[in-house]
Chain A
């Protein structure tokens, strides 16, 4: 597979800085219940750029996609089971 060029790194870096700006801007706008969702969406986009381009996953073999997928799946386990506590505390 092709390795990313210096241009790709540069654009990825610029995109990350743009998202950083967006994060800061979003912090000054009260979106009510959307606050967390918007912040998480921006974070996810930043993370995806890093994983795909800086960590070369975009250019890697499928087995590495499997391992990355497993990592996110495990993160999901942590979030879902931890949320099972937070979401159901009020039921008592």
Chain B
């Protein structure tokens, strides 16, 4: 047996300390924990609740859109539904999902550390997140907000009814949780890597979390300032965005999108990181062009800050600025394409296994590619005029957010579930749910590309009768998608008690997190690991030979 094989599937020492799950059973031990793994679980439960709140709003919208008439809810309620859906999904599910759940659980484990750099700040981040969520839920329960998740002025600052300031306060507070989490990860990755774990030996997931953290720290304060200015105008009549008071409404859009476009990369980069872990593992191959993928990750983070004006092509923004933003938006597709090509090249001549996490990873690559390519349509000034504010845009960003990010999250959740809980989920049911989600997703959102191209505007409950067939397809797809989302909730919970015991490394994966027991002890490792090689030391030929021997 070679040294490489030994390092690819290391065996943990027998446990002498309790697992992190057994280290305290009281509610207090959970609510006051500073263990990054327990905080990850707190986030997992919280964002799942928010996902179902946002999902409930989406369900109501899709039901309303079954018929062209506004016969289920009033237009005002519909406005509130899409606002709730957007705000909750963006700020309380998508942005925190992979970084705070998988990131919190895995960053210290993957770099061979005992915890993050600032464990108490980590817990404080969760409390900030929950406090922000409480404000958001308060504003929903007490009447809602109808501005859309973008809070465009002067509507939000002057004319909108509802609890705009409470909702903005919730986002403001949760934003500080994001900043603190980002800061924590940056310091952790800089300062706490195990001996021998150089930057180019880091798993790609760490590169993506690092870049995401930089974006969180650099962009989120701008959102906080922007929402504060909007609230100042709304509450005290300070003229900043309202032209009637000497303000400029486009200033709001510039500031808002300076945060919110990079926020797209906050959402998608960690998903890319998960996929970069899954594909080498389930193709049993080294990642193709590791360094290029790492550079592409950072490049996406940087370019992501330079493209926000493509959200404003028809806003009366100067056409010359539009041209600059259009060119820069095309440029950001280059590093994204590098990633897709490198994942594909990693599959080439691999020993591919179609287990559940791999199904999600492959789904991610296909759906993200469709989402990315349709983004180029929108980056094109002339085409954007035609499809702006139509269902084409809705379909495009759902292919990125749901087809990309949610697939990445679920793939990662399945991949690391045995590490998190020590149990295996039922594989067949999990595969069924992955396929259901893929099919349901496409049936929901592909018709929306056509609807948008044909001219159906977003954000209206009433539409022209000729759009009904495609809307019925979309709603049917949404119900299949919903089944696909409920299934994992059910069988993952089931597996906590009845799932087979996973063992330390059920996927025969590389990476430091697989060298410790499942679930890991509170301190993660018995001894500080020493790293002597790069990530993804897989051998496809050996894996094939092993498979053949198994079938013989």
Contact = CB atoms under 8 A, between A and B. Distances in A.
Interface in B265-320: 305-306, 308-309, 312, 317-320
Contacts of B321: 81, 84-85, 88
B317 A85 contact: yes
B425 interface: no
A71 B218 contact: yes
A91 interface: yes
B222 interface: yes
Interface in A40-92: 70-71, 74, 77-78, 81-82, 84-89, 91-92
A85 B318 contact: yes
Contacts of A81: 306, 308-309, 321, 324-325
B250 A85 contact: yes
User: Which range holds the interface residue count of chain B?
Assistant: 10 to 19
A81 B305 CA distance: 10
B459 interface: no
B252 to A, nearest CB: 11
A81 B325 CA distance: 9
Contacts of A78: 222, 254-255, 258
Interface string B206-227: 0000000000001000100000
Given A85-B250, A85-B254, A74 B320 contact: no
B254 A82 contact: yes
User: Among A74, A81, A85, A88, which residue has the most Cβ atoms of chain B within 10 A?
Assistant: A85
Contacts of B319: 88, 92
A69 B139 CA distance: 38
A20 B222 CA distance: 24
Nearest to A82: B254
B218 A85 contact: no
B306 A84 contact: no
Interface in B361-380: none
Given A78-B258, A91-B318, A92-B319, A84 B324 contact: yes
Nearest to B321: A85
A86 B325 CA distance: 14
Contacts of A84: 318, 320-321, 324
A19 B150 CA distance: 36
A89 B318 contact: yes
Contacts of A74: 218, 305
B318 A77 contact: no
A91 B254 contact: no
B305 A77 contact: yes
B188 to A, nearest CB: 15
A85 B249 CA distance: 13
Contacts of A70: 218
Contacts of B222: 78
A4 to B, nearest CB: 22
A54 to B, nearest CB: 17
A88 B318 contact: yes
Nearest to B262: A74
Given A71-B218, A84-B318, A84-B324, A77 B306 contact: yes
A92 to B, nearest CB: 6
Nearest to A85: B321
Contacts of B305: 74, 77
User: Among B250, B318, B325, which residue has the most Cβ atoms of chain A within 10 A?
Assistant: B318
A85 B318 CA distance: 5
A82 B258 CA distance: 9
Nearest to B248: A86
A5 B320 CA distance: 51
Contacts of A77: 305-306
Interface string B70-93: 000000000000000000000000
A79 to B, nearest CB: 10
Contacts of A91: 318, 320
A65 to B, nearest CB: 15
Interface in B311-367: 312, 317-321, 324-325
User: Among A70, A71, A88, which residue has the most Cβ atoms of chain B within 10 A?
Assistant: A88
Nearest to B251: A82
A69 to B, nearest CB: 12
A70 B321 CA distance: 24
A24 B255 CA distance: 27
A89 B535 CA distance: 50
Given A71-B218, A78-B222, A85 B258 contact: no
21 contacts: A74-B218, A74-B305, A77-B305, A78-B254, A78-B255, A78-B258, A81-B306, A81-B309, A81-B321, A82-B255, A82-B258, A84-B318, A84-B320, A85-B250, A85-B312, A85-B317, A85-B321, A86-B318, A88-B321, A89-B318, A91-B320
Interface of A: 70-71, 74, 77-78, 81-82, 84-89, 91-92
Going nearest first, the 3 A-B pairs with the smallest beta carbon separation are A85-B321, A88-B320, A88-B318
Given A77-B305, A92-B319, 10 more contacts: A74-B218, A81-B325, A82-B251, A82-B255, A82-B258, A85-B250, A85-B309, A85-B317, A88-B318, A88-B321
